[in-house]
Homo-oligomer: A and B are copies of this chain.
Amino acid sequence: MLMNAAEYRESLRSLSPRLFVDGQRITSVADAPSLAPGIAAVGTSYDFAHDPALATLMTARQSEGGPLVNRMLHVNATNQDLLWKLEAVRVLCRESGCAQRYLAHDALNGIFQATARIDADRGTDYHQRFRAYLADVQERDLAIGIAMTDAKGDRSLRPSAQANPDTYVHVVGRRPGGIVISGTKAIVTGAPYMHQFLVMPCRAMQADDAAFAVCCAVPADAPGVTIVARPAGRPGEADAIFSARYGQSTGVVLFDNVFVPDDQVFLNGEWMHSGFLTSTYATHHRHSCIGARAGFGDLLIGAGALMIEANGLDPSRHGHIRDAMVELISIVEGFFACGVAASTYGIADPAGSAQPEPIYANVGKLMLATKIYDMQRLAHHVSGGLVVSLPGPDEDHNPETRADLQAVLGGRADVPASHRLAVGRLMEDLTASYQAGWYSIISLHGGGSPEAMKREIWRNYPVAEKRDFVRQLVDRGLAGPAAVAVAEGDQPGKCCDTGCEAPPAKVAE
C-alpha cells in the first residue's frame, strides 16, 4: 500500500506523540506550521513512488511476485538495487533538500544483515522476527526515524561507566512480553513527524555494557517517549524561498521506562554484535548520504547557473565563473562516483542481501563531509556579493522604495529585479542561512564524523596485500636487472597469482 504525500500527512493524525517544538507542545503534527516543511520533504518520498517515470528508482519488490514497496523501505537484493537506491535518494534530495526517509532504508538493511549474523552465532531468532516486522512496515508504508546517536555524557567514559546511565538508551527491566528501556537519543532526524523510531546502538560495546546493546522498534507515541525538536526548515519566513517549503527537523528523543514488546526487539544484550550492527548501518547510511548530498549539489549547480544568468554573465566568456562551476560539478560528481563504485562493487551478505562496498562508501562520505564547504564557497563565488545586501522581502511591499529598487537592482535587460532578488534569496537560503548551516554540519558529522570514516577505510583496506606485493618487487629488484630477467623467460606475471586473489580494487568476475 504505497501512500502518497497527502495520505502520509493524514496518517500522522492517528498518532499522539508527546512533542515539543521550541518549547511549545504540539498537539497535531499534521497541522503544525512549524513542521510543514519537514512533512513536505518526507512527502516527496511518498509522491515520487507514484510517478511512473520514476517507478524503477522509487519502488521495488522484496521478493519475486511480492508487492511493490517504497524503495526507502526496501532491503537490497542486488548491486543494481544499491545503484537504484543511490539514484533514488539523489532525485528525492534534489527536490526536497533532504528527504530524510533514506535513514529508514539504511537501518532496515543493517538490521537485516545483523540479525541473521546474531542468530547464526547465538542461536537466537531475531532474523525471522525482523522479517515479519519488515513486511509490516513495508505494507503500512511507514515513516521511521532512526534513534541511534546517544547523548553520550562524558565522552571519555563507556556507557556503563556514565554517572547518569540515561545519557545512553539501555534496557532497565523486563515486563511480561517485552522489555523496558530508558535513556536519551540526541540527534534524531525528522523525529517529530515519524510513525516509529528504530532504536539502535551507536557503538561497539563490551560485556559491562550489555544492557546498552539494544535494538528495537518503538511507536512515536509510545508511553514514556518525549520528543524535543526545532522547527523544520524556516517555516513562514518570507525570504526562505526554498526552506519555507521543504526542511528538516532534528530532535532529541527521551525514553522514560518505555515498554517494547518482544516481537519489536532485534538486539537485547548480545553486546559483541553491537559493533557489527552499528558499522553495517553506517556503511548503508554513508552510501545513502552520498546520494543525498549529490541531490543537494544539483540544487546548488542549478541555483548557481540561474544566478549567473540573472547577473548577465556568460561562463564561456568569464573563465573564472566557468572554472568555479566546473569545480562545483567535479566535487559533486566526484563523490557521487564513489557511491556508484560502492554499488558496482557491492558485497553479497550471507543474509541474502547486498551491501555497498565499504571502502568506496566511506571515501565518498569523507569527500562530501569536507567538500560541502567548498560547495558553498563556489556557490557564493558565482553569485557575487549582492547576496549580502539583498533588501529583505518585506521591502517588496514597501510603496516608498519598491519602484526605485526594482528600477536599479535588475541585471540583464530581460531579467527583472524581482526575479534576480528571488534567485539571490534562494542562494542565501541554501548557502547562508541557518538551514545552510544545517546542511554543512549534517554533511560533516551525519553518518559519522571524518575520524570514523578514516578508521573504517583503514580497517577495510587491503594494505597488507599491497605491501606484500611491493615487497616482491623489491626482492626482485635486488635480485638482478630486469632486462636479463626478461630475456631468460622470467615470469613477472607470477607474483600476480597472489595479486589476483585480492586484486587492486575489486575485480569483478
Contacts and interface: CB of A to CB of B under 8 A. Distances in A.
Interface string A85-114: 001001100111000000000000000000
A360 B301 CA distance: 16
A1 interface: no
A40 B458 contact: no
A8 to B, nearest CB: 10
Interface string A438-467: 101110111001110010011001011011
Count of this chain's copies in the oligomeric assembly? 4
A9 B51 CA distance: 60
B329 A340 contact: no
Interface string A107-132: 00000000000000000000000000
Contact of A486 (B43, B187, B299, B392): B43
A44 B376 contact: no
A276 interface: no
A490 to B, nearest CB: 9
A13 B392 CA distance: 25
A504 B242 contact: no
A178 to B, nearest CB: 23
B153 A492 contact: no
A207 interface: no
Contacts of A33: 483
A336 B505 contact: yes
Contact of A164 (B84, B407, B470): B407
A445 to B, nearest CB: 3
Summarize A's interface: helix, strand, loop or mixed: helix
B363 A370 contact: no
A186 B235 CA distance: 28
Nearest to A423: B474
A480 B229 CA distance: 24
Contacts of A405: 228, 252, 254
A306 B471 contact: yes
Given A87-B503, A309-B467, A493 B48 contact: yes
Nearest to A188: B389
Select the residue from A463, A503, A504 with max chain B CB neighbours within 10 A. A504
Given A407-B164, A411-B154, A492 B43 contact: yes
Interface stretch (A22-30, A65-73, A265-273, A279-287): A22-30
Interface in A41-63: 43-44, 47-48, 50-51, 53-54, 56-57
Interface in A125-151: 149, 151
12 contacts: A36-B482, A43-B492, A44-B492, A51-B496, A87-B504, A298-B469, A322-B458, A330-B366, A341-B344, A380-B441, A381-B449, A387-B437
Given A39-B486, A230-B390, A246-B482, 14 more contacts: A33-B483, A57-B507, A155-B312, A166-B408, A226-B401, A241-B477, A241-B478, A252-B409, A302-B468, A330-B367, A377-B440, A385-B446, A388-B438, A433-B437
